[in-house]
Amino acid sequence: MKSLQLAEKFDQEQSEISQNSIFVLMQPIRQFVRLSSYTYKLVKKCCGGDRVIDILFHFPSGLSKRTDDEAAFNSGEKLTVVLHVENHVVPHYKNSPYRITGKTLAGNTVTILYFHYRISYLKRILPIGGTFTVSGNASRELDGIKMIHPDVIASPQQAKYYVGVDPIYPLVGNLSQKTLRYVISAASKLIPKNLDWIPEDLKKRYGLADFPKALEAIHDPKSEEDLLVTNKFRKRIAIDEILANQVRLKQIKRNQQKRNVIAIRETGEIFKKLRLPFELTEDQQRCFEDIKEDLASGHPMNRLIQGDVGSGKTITAFLGMLIALENKLQAVFLAPTEILAWQHFETIQKLSENLNLEIDIMLSSNRKARKRQIRELQDGTTQILIGTHAILEDNVEFRNLGFIVIDEQHKFGVMQRLKLINKSTYPNILSMSATPIPRTLLLGCYGDIDVSTIKTKPKGRQQVETAVIGTNKIEDLVERLKTIDSQIFWVCPVIEESESLVDVNTRCEYLKKAFSEGDVEVLHGKMKAYEKDEIMTHFKNNEFKLLVSTTVIEVGVDIPNANVMVIEHAERFGLAQLHQLRGRVGRGNEAAYCILLYHLPVSDVGKKRLQLMRETTDGFLLSEQDLKLRGAGDILGRDQSGFDVLRFSDFSDNYSLVAIADEISSQMDLDSPQTADLCDIFNRVSDENIV
């Protein structure tokens, strides 16, 4: 009897947990839904994680409408009928479909076609003489209604449940809509009923829906309007996402302020030996003064340098690192890719030729040197470390890290940033972005950060002339390129073959036939690191003329002799990315050109982008226009980073959400259980995806 009472009490407690906390949302969906290993992997890949909340955050992107009006439906629409099965027709030929025929309640003839089938299975689920609800894509033919592989076969009484609107979700691999809907439906039943972190008065003030209701409603859209970011339920999730980001940033800033930080000032010990090959621009000098003031303040530095492509941000960051070195502190330079890390390593080595500094580079692809590198970091031998995500590994520790540079910060998540901060003795952080970011976007994605801007470019940098041409002139373009002395970048949008896009390998083969042997090479992200390094080294040494590449060369690649950039399918890229790519040329003293090669048809937005690129080289203006045309995702690297920086927020339509989220976050207790719930829910499974 006592055991029974304990069991009942346990069941009641579990029920309360699932209804009133986020515990259940953090669990793997496999605990609640029976899935094969193969299907489970597909669902996990599709939804970006296997937690219940990951499943619920996989929002529908379209609608499929089902009707039971046999007289009014259009071919291609989904039709639901109650069918009396009359006959099974076994095909005479191997590739012919298996046919099942019958009559609807309205007397119409329906033929169901199966191209992949087991006869015994079909005779069992649709036996002759039986009556069933059948629903799926249908077409109207001369001999009646045809339906191919219906996705619903149920009892006649269930027909009413299969009329209306079905959500359409993005899929991967062989995962079907039916399977994913089943999994999402099961996850929806697990949403806690009383979970919320925004006070009732603020929800009323801004007209915000309850969190559980919003999460349920998003998966039950009734019209196309329900799929828009301006829909009130999606708007609620978008605000929560920005709010979680704001809270994380405020927590980091608060924790930083608690850290023991000493005032760091220039002593002249290293600077008196420094011989720069050029004079700093006014903007660079002003930016350096900002860094010096931050370091001398006795408070942790948290500054962003934003500057146009080629404006000289790296040299400014290097000067800040030297101040740290003069104060016996170590500096680290985190870059998003190995190509960019090598670029910075070579640049900093060149700038410090006569300074006798210990500089090292740490990459995931070179683990052989890891033990030595860790030892030299811990004993203080290494003064400047440059590297990629490898630096973030737990066993990488510093003796006295006091200056952190994060290049292209939007490629790294909040938790990655926090991981690096926690390795430092004095957390002075300098972030860099080659993409100018509007203030509202900065507030939403970076929090309350100090900003320095570099607009002027170093002397000698050439203005890049931009031309827009169609693929009908590609042969003329190739003939012209064959006659010039400059090296050439040719960028394609995809690596592998695509029905609508030209891939790097296809274009490379085409260009190899046009140019001399050995003049054309290919580069893309799926190649091994050493292969990419070899190709870039050969290209930098002017050993071949034309490099066909994906956008892997978008950031940081500096080839002074490459003065022509061809961007294929330019109409498909965002303005920020086009501007980044254009910045790869014009880095020497010769005239530079960017050719935007478009394929028809071009959308109105695509035409506007091409026009803007031709009219201006002002990255700040282009970023503002990009925000209006495309939203925040492209500005902050959506196409490159794999996950959206903000998955549910489109600033082009919901520009005011940042201010709302900022006001709410300022009234929240950063240490409350509700705040912890918010942060837990919007944390991705992998640190690489958290922003």
Residue 177 lies in a domain: no
Measured distance CA(233)–CA(447) in Å, rounded: 24
CA 547, distance to chain mean position in Å, is: 26
Examine the domain organization and report whether 304 and 324 are in the same domain: yes
The number of domains in the chain is: 5
**Under 8 Å between Cβ of 73 and 126:** no
Quote the pLDDT of residue 143: 85
Query: 495 in helix, strand or coil?
Result: coil
The residue among 659, 211, 206, 643 whose CA lies nearest residue 444 is 659
Q: Which of 425, 454, 483 is the last residue of a domain?
A: 454
Cis-peptide, bond into residue 300, ω within 30° of zero: no
Q: Do residue 540 and residue 611 come from a single domain?
A: yes
- Mark whether 470 and 605 lie in a shared domain: yes
- Considering the domain boundaries, does residue 438 fall inside one? yes
Buried b (16+ CB within 10 A) or exposed e, 300-331: bbbbbbbbbbbbbbbbbbbbbbbbbbbbebbb
pLDDT, tens digit, 9 for 90 and up, residues 451-494: 888 887 777 666 789 999 999 999 999 999 999 999 999 999 88
Is 662 part of a structural domain of the chain?
A: yes
Q: What Å distances lie between residue 587 and 205, 345, 561, 685, CA to CA?
A: 52, 18, 8, 40
Q: Do 203 and 287 sit in the same domain of this protein?
A: no
Local structure of 268: helix, strand or coil:
coil
Backbone φ and ψ of 122, nearest 5°: -65, -35
Residues 447 and 523 in one domain: no
> For residues 285 and 578, what is the distance between their CA atoms, to the nearest angstrom?
28
Quick one: 324 and 364 in the same domain? yes
pTM of the model: 0.63
Q: How far apart are CA 425 and CA 578, in angstroms?
A: 39
Q: State CA 7 to chain mean position distance.
A: 46
86-140 pLDDT, tens digit per residue, is 999 999 888 899 999 999 998 999 999 999 888 999 999 999 999 999 999 899 8
Residue 357 belongs to a domain: yes
% helix / strand / coil in the chain, to the nearest 5?
A: 45, 20, 40
Alpha-carbon distance of 600 to 622, in angstroms, equals 23
How would you write 418-444 as a 3-class SS string?
HHHHCCCCCCCEEEEECCCCCHHHHHH
Q: Note whether 92 and 149 are same-domain residues.
A: yes
What residue has token string 């339509």? Answer: 653
Alpha-carbon distance of 137 to 168, in angstroms, equals 14
* Residue with tokens 């012209």, as numbered in its chain: 480
Domain assignment of residue 634, yes or no: no
CA Rg, the chain, in Å? 30
**d(C-alpha 51, C-alpha 463), whole Å:** 50
Q: Is the domain of 550 the same as that of 671? A: no
Distance CA 256, CA 420 (A): 12
* Residues 126 and 210 placed together within one structural domain of the fold: no
Helix (H, G, I), strand (E, B) or coil at 364: coil
Ramachandran assignment for 61, one of left (phi > 0), alpha (psi -120 to 50 degrees), beta (any other): alpha
Whole-number pLDDT of residue 17: 43
pLDDT of residue 6: 43
Tell me what pLDDT residue 687 has.
32
What pLDDT sits at residue 164?
Answer: 85
* Ordered strands of the 546-549 beta sheet: 464-470, 592-598, 562-568, 487-491, 546-549, 520-523
Low-confidence ranges of the chain (pLDDT < 70): 1-21, 260, 409-411, 413-414, 435-448, 460-462, 554-557, 627-646, 650-655, 683-691
State whether 311 and 439 are in the same domain: yes
Residue 121 maps to a domain:
yes
Residue 517 is which amino acid? E
CA 533, 538, 542, 546 torsion-angle sign: negative
pLDDT, position 555: 54
Of 569, 591, 616, at which residue does a domain stop? 616
Assess whether 307 and 444 both reside in one domain.
Answer: yes
My answer on whether 128 and 14 are in the same domain is no
Residue 437 domain boundaries: 268-454
Tokens for 346, please give them. 């070579």
Q: Establish if 176 belongs to a structural domain.
A: no
Distance between CA 408 and CA 108 in Å, rounded?
A: 62
Q: Retrieve residue 629's tokens.
A: 């045309």
For residue 288, the Cα-to-chain-centroid distance in whole angstroms is 31
The C-alpha atoms of residue 347 and residue 304 are separated, in whole angstroms, by: 20
**Position 175 in a domain:** no
CATH number at residue 596: 3.40.50.300
